[in-house]
Chain A
Amino acid sequence: MPGIFDRFSNLMGQRDAILAGDGADPFQVRMDDVISQTEAIIAGKRTILCGTNNYLGLTFAPEALKAAHDALDAFGTGTTGSRVANGTYSGHKELENTLCEFFNKDHAIVFSTGFLANAGVLSTLMGPGDYILMDADCHASIYDGVRASQAEIIRFKHNDAADLDKRLARLVDKPGNKLIVIEGIYSMLGDKAPMAEIVAVKKKHANTFLLSDEAHSMGVLGRYGRGLPEEVGCEDDVDFIVGTFSKSVGTVGGFVVSSYPDFGMLRLVCRAYIFTASLPPSVVASATVNLGLVKSGGALRTRLMRNAKVLHSGLSEIGLKVASDLSPVVAVVAPDPQVAVAFWRGLIEAGVYVNLALPPATPYGYSLLRCSLCAVHTEEQLRKVVSIFESVAINLGLIERKVRRSAVG
């Protein structure tokens, strides 16, 4: 009788080959103590965290901690129920109202995670006879969501508005609604969508709507942190914004906001909203408070981008291949998965945590050491990160030691 995991035997072989050799397993990192937003104890070692998506460093905001403690004491550790049953407390409604104000939209629906928000909304927004046109580099939650929808799914080339236009033009005689799905900032390389061009394409075609996942751009872009639509100045043209509390907002949970009439109907049809327990009150309270801090966080955004520049230019100058544009995601390309794992192990042993990202989860088949910045990283921490990257890369023969202007002796 075949074993139930026999169909994964190829994958298991690849995993064993990639993880061969001594060192930590990059997919089983354990943090035994979290010292701050930027430091933790991993395998007994004080480690700089440079891959947490905690862009604004709000995970220890005193105001949010207090609100979470108060909610915990008043409402308990969990709701034990769905949003449509016993799982909606006053805090959940307050959070949705706060989101409406934050984004200047009429409706907001909070889900238990960002993944569930995408899975729930994308599986129900479009129906039979409709079309979803998604950027090819969209997140797994978007892929899973659209696969569960009854619409026809068409992928367009990553960040290619002309390709999107061409594909919409082929549907000109089809009566169904069309939904374009993009992300404000793409997670692996930190590149932005060409939103102005995509909005222009959307406006050319009838019955066409735009949904943008602002998971990585919320809190990062725009004067008030509303993401790429705010930065580009096209918020009224983005019909649906999906987001998460698990990055800049510093906790967990997902949401969708829109001013489309009757949008609240989704609460009765989104299975990912109905058939799962709602967020615990403490999480809801911290998200509500942190939304205010995101909005007023202009100084944090400035520090975040300053840090991004320090790391981006530091890693480029030592000769590493940095695949990302200047953004709070700095992705270093390794030649292959085995070298990427060795690189990652060298970094963790020297006290730097970054994300290891391997194909097929990466664009262009890249093997990536993916760093993400935090507004509260110090320049000293980032200089240390660059210097450790340099030592590890030299040991691996990826770069040569350079004589730098600042070097002594």
Chain B
Amino acid sequence: MTANGEPSADTFAALHELLGPLNKTGVDLKPETRFSEDLNFDSLVVMEFVATVEDCFDISIPMNILPDITTVKHLALAVEKIVKADRG
């Protein structure tokens, strides 16, 4: 994470790659892209997507934080926080 609280470009790139096949609405993927409104993710797709992100970063994303993750940027920040906590 950079000093101003912005997720790194690498994290965005990885998430964009994972989101690609799930982007059925064809919107431009930006940090502020919303999973529910812009990508039309339902609960099932969210769960599948979370599992692929967990595999990619080798982390567990607790279900408890999912309601607060509505955009790609939220997810990137959460992923970086968990990676940092896990690897010290």
B51 lies within 8 A of A152 (CB): no
Contact of B64 among A152, A157, A365 (CB under 8 A): A152
Q: Which residues of A contact B59 (CB under 8 A)?
A: 170
A44 interface contact, C-beta 8 A: no
Cα separation A170 to B54 with both chains bound (whole Å): 12
B43 lies within 8 A of A147 (CB): no
What's the minimum C-beta distance from A15 to chain B, rounded to whole angstroms?
14
Contacts A136-B51, A157-B51, A170-B86: A359 and B44 contacting too (C-beta < 8 A)?
A: yes
B44 lies within 8 A of A365 (CB): yes
Cα separation A157 to B50 with both chains bound (whole Å): 11
B86 lies within 8 A of A154 (CB): no
A147 lies within 8 A of B44 (CB): no
Q: Which residues of A contact B14 (CB under 8 A)?
A: none
What's the minimum C-beta distance from A137 to chain B, rounded to whole angstroms?
10
Q: Is the interface of B mostly helix, strand, loop or mixed?
A: helix
Q: Which residues of A contact B64 (CB under 8 A)?
A: 152-153
What's the minimum C-beta distance from B67 to chain A, rounded to whole angstroms?
10
Contact of A152 among B42, B50, B62 (CB under 8 A): B62
Cα separation A155 to B47 with both chains bound (whole Å): 9
Q: Which residues of B contact A157 (CB under 8 A)?
A: 51
Q: Which residues of B contact A167 (CB under 8 A)?
A: 60
Cα separation A312 to B64 with both chains bound (whole Å): 39
A153 lies within 8 A of B62 (CB): yes
Cα separation A136 to B43 with both chains bound (whole Å): 13
A15-36, CB < 8 A from B: none
B63 interface contact, C-beta 8 A: yes
A315 interface contact, C-beta 8 A: no
What's the minimum C-beta distance from B38 to chain A, rounded to whole angstroms?
15
Q: Which residues of B contact A146 (CB under 8 A)?
A: 63
Cα separation A152 to B62 with both chains bound (whole Å): 6
Q: Which residues of B contact A360 (CB under 8 A)?
A: 42-44
Cα separation A12 to B59 with both chains bound (whole Å): 36
What's the minimum C-beta distance from B88 to chain A, rounded to whole angstroms?
9
Cα separation A118 to B24 with both chains bound (whole Å): 36
Contact of B62 among A136, A154, A359, A365 (CB under 8 A): A154
What's the minimum C-beta distance from B56 to chain A, rounded to whole angstroms?
14
What's the minimum C-beta distance from A126 to chain B, rounded to whole angstroms?
12
Cα separation A365 to B59 with both chains bound (whole Å): 25
A136 lies within 8 A of B63 (CB): no
A144-165, CB < 8 A from B: 146-147, 152-155, 157
Q: Which residues of A contact B42 (CB under 8 A)?
A: 360
Cα separation A119 to B51 with both chains bound (whole Å): 24
Mark contacts of A231-274 with chain B using CB atoms, 8 A cut-off: 1 yes-contact digit, 0 otherwise. 00000000000000000000000000000000000000000000
Q: Which residues of A contact B47 (CB under 8 A)?
A: 136, 155
**Minimum CB distance partner of B66 in chain A:** A153
B29-65, CB < 8 A from A: 42-44, 47, 50-51, 59-60, 62-64
Mark contacts of A327-370 with chain B using CB atoms, 8 A cut-off: 1 yes-contact digit, 0 otherwise. 00000000000000000000000000000000110000100000
A105-153, CB < 8 A from B: 136, 146-147, 152-153
Contact of B60 among A147, A154, A365 (CB under 8 A): A154
Cα separation A136 to B46 with both chains bound (whole Å): 13
B63 lies within 8 A of A155 (CB): yes
What's the minimum C-beta distance from A205 to chain B, rounded to whole angstroms?
14
Contacts A360-B42, A360-B43, A360-B44: A154 and B51 contacting too (C-beta < 8 A)?
A: no
Q: Which residues of A contact B51 (CB under 8 A)?
A: 136, 155, 157
* 6 new A-B contacts at CB < 8 Å, known A170-B59, A360-B43: A136-B47, A154-B60, A155-B47, A155-B50, A167-B60, A360-B44
**Can you list 23 A-B pairs with a CB-CB distance of less than 8 A?**
A136-B47, A146-B63, A147-B63, A152-B62, A152-B64, A153-B62, A153-B63, A153-B64, A154-B60, A154-B62, A154-B63, A155-B47, A155-B50, A155-B51, A155-B63, A157-B51, A167-B60, A170-B60, A170-B86, A360-B42, A360-B43, A360-B44, A365-B44
A residues near B (Cβ < 8 Å) are: 136, 146-147, 152-155, 157, 167, 170, 359-360, 365
Which 5 pairs from chain A and chain B are nearest by CB? Answer: A153-B63, A360-B44, A152-B62, A154-B60, A167-B60
